[in-house]
Amino acid sequence: MAGIVVVFDFDKTIIDLDSDNWVVDELGATDLFNQLLPTMPWNSVMDRMMKELHEQGKTIKDIEEVLKRAPIIPRVVSAIKAAHALGCDLKIVSDANLFYIETILNHLGIYDCFTEINTNPGYVDEEGKLRIRPYHDFHTSSHGCSCNVCPPNMCKGLIIERIQASLAKEGKKRMIYLGDGGGDFCPSLKLKEQDFVMPRKDFPVWKLINENRDLIRAEIHGWSDGEEQEHILLQIIKAITVEENPFLSVDCKFQTIPINAVHETLPKALPVPS
């Protein structure tokens, strides 16, 4: 199963809300955020909000405590631990920021499950203020994506292409991509026929994929909640393993997963794409 790469979005795929909105709302800055949003790109607004919150006396500790309270999608932690235990290479591609993501993953005890985090830089400056920068510097150039969905600060499709190029060198050949937002449509277009895309049902990426199914080469498996996400993800991993290792006793392999990481009994068949 070393040939399987699982790529997670973060907001509304691992945590069950938008992390930017959560921090702003919990720290009582919603009105200011709404005033600023029409005047500049989202990523720039968040950097400005961190400056404003700092000036109001909010500390990095305050932000960390808010992040640790963020609602998590049920069973996503066990799904991540199970996929990691099965030898999958787990990565994150997210339009959140590194400070938020690392804080939450460490709090959940799953930071070490991931080999790579691709997101907007987020760091504490010398004044003790959180700074948030764009992944792609749209102030100097455009990332050049033509799908008309990606925000100016991040094209996840370009990130997936880079990951695909590195995986080819490593001999890894199957990718599973999980996401929910409009920005997850572009990377879905980059997936190949042997890959799988898991869009969250009734979220923007689900609508875009359903409107453009002829453009999607990967196998599509929608999910609605954490239990369904876990079930489908592990079934895909199991199906790939059976296909590529027909003489391997995959049930024995799955039974080695810790009981707190995944249900012991898994259905035999891969779900029909929704």
Report residue 258 as tokens: 């810790």
Is 9 marked as binding a ligand?
A: yes
Which value, in Å, is the radius of gyration of the alpha carbons in the chain?
19
Annotation says 47 is catalytic = no
CA angle 226, 147, 223 (to 5 degrees): 15
Q: Which of 9, 18, 184, 195 is catalytic?
A: 9
Q: Please state, in angstroms and rounded to a whole number, the distance separating the CA atoms of residues 40 and 28.
A: 20
Closest CA to 117 of 233, 199, 10, 191: 10
- Options 11, 18, 184, 195, the catalytic residue: 11
Q: Is 11 a catalytic residue?
A: yes
Question: Does the annotation flag 180 for ligand binding?
Answer: yes
Sign of the dihedral through C-alpha 145, 148, 153, 157: negative
Q: Is 119:96 a contact under the CB 8 Å cutoff?
A: yes
Q: In whole angstroms, what is the distance from residue 179 CA to residue 273 CA?
A: 16
- How many Cα atoms sit within 13 Å of 133 on the Cβ side? 11
Q: Please give the Cα distance from 204 to 179 (Å, whole number).
A: 10
Residues classed as catalytic: 9, 11
Q: Enumerate the known binding-site residues for Mg(2+).
A: 9, 11, 180
Which residues carry a binding-site annotation for substrate? 20, 95
Q: Binding site membership: which residues? A: 9, 11, 20, 95, 180
